[in-house]
Amino acid sequence: MHVIPQLIVSTLLLGGIYALIAVGLTLIFGVMRVVNFAHGEFLMLAMYVAFWAFSLLHFDPYLTLVVSLPLFFAAGWASYRVVMRPVIHASHNVQIFTTVGLSIALQNLALVLWTADARFVRTDYYAVVVRIGGAAFNVAQIVAFVVAVGFTAGLFAFMRWSYTGKVMRATAQDRQASALMGIDTDRVYAVTWAVGIVCVGAAGVLLAPIYPVYPTAGLQFVLIAYVAVVLGGLGDMVGALIAALVVAAVEVIGSYVIGTAWKEVLYLLLFIGILVVRPAGLFGQRGAEALGT
């Protein structure tokens, strides 16, 4: 019976990280109507930030998280101005090719600078195991979960109650009407892109003490984020959060019952199955993209 508590705890710990990655991705799509195929590469760069800060400066990854948030925001703002702003009003095909090109460029930049060797962030508490009610987990996992949940909750609060969040939601609903009401939609897009990068950057730093760091490390996580975003309904942040937990549950339970080699197959089969039944995702509405909701 100790297996069930362990599966539940593992699902929650993993789902919290997945949710932070997914809500940043769905925020960008919900406001800008752009699918960021370079999302995983920003996560990878954040993992390298944590690694080099730990290796060269002996900074704890969670201290790195606090001091590097402005860096992630600046990177997001700069990448929007240089890469995304020229294509923000172009066709979806142009936007897709642009973000895919950015993804390839960042991967190869990391490969040239740091080689393909896997690197590890091994803190003093990495191997410390905590046991509660028959479930075991290490300190790095629980800290990553708590911080990820805090970030996700903060993002929801920001979008719901702050003036900037309300402006972002208004722009998502109707860009032209927002512009006519005096809203600077270009600035809204820049802030949206930067906030999305901050979310995935925070997730990357949180993952660095748990997973190896290498140039293609972001691919496995961003694939899960895409599945969660589409399952939850494109642009629906609550749906992405719930779907991230569903994907984590499928991965954890499937790995235990069948084996870790099948975990990607299982959540992709779930992904296909739900889209066959509900093309708009679990919580999406048909025509929502056209309505901007």
pTM of structure: 0.89
pLDDT tens-place string over residues 277-290: 877 776 665 434 43
pLDDT for res 284: 61
- The average confidence (pLDDT) of the chain is 85
Q: Is the pLDDT of residue 158 over 80?
A: yes
DSSP-based three-state secondary structure for 138: strand
Average pLDDT over residues 171-200: 90
Output 196 or 123, whichever has higher pLDDT: 196
Q: Which of 282, 181, 200, 278 is nearest to 28 (CA)?
A: 200
Q: Which of 90, 42, 2, 33 is nearest to 199 (CA)?
A: 42
pLDDT for res 94: 93
What distance in Å separates the CA atoms of residue 43 and residue 221, rounded to the nearest whole number?
9
Which amino acid does the sequence have at 23? V
Average pLDDT over residues 182-187: 90
Q: Is residue 226 within 8 Å of 232, Cβ to Cβ?
A: no
How do the domains of the chain map onto residue ranges?
3-214
How is residue 245 written in tokens? 């937990």
Q: Is residue 192 within 8 Å of 26, Cβ to Cβ?
A: no
User: Under 8 Å CB-to-CB from 162, ≥6 apart: which residues?
Assistant: none
Q: Is the pLDDT of residue 236 over 80?
A: no
Output 3 or 170, whichever has higher pLDDT: 170
Q: Is residue 175 within 8 Å of 18, Cβ to Cβ?
A: no
Average pLDDT over residues 111-122: 91
> Which pairs from 125-129 meet CB under 8 Å and 24+ separation?
126/209
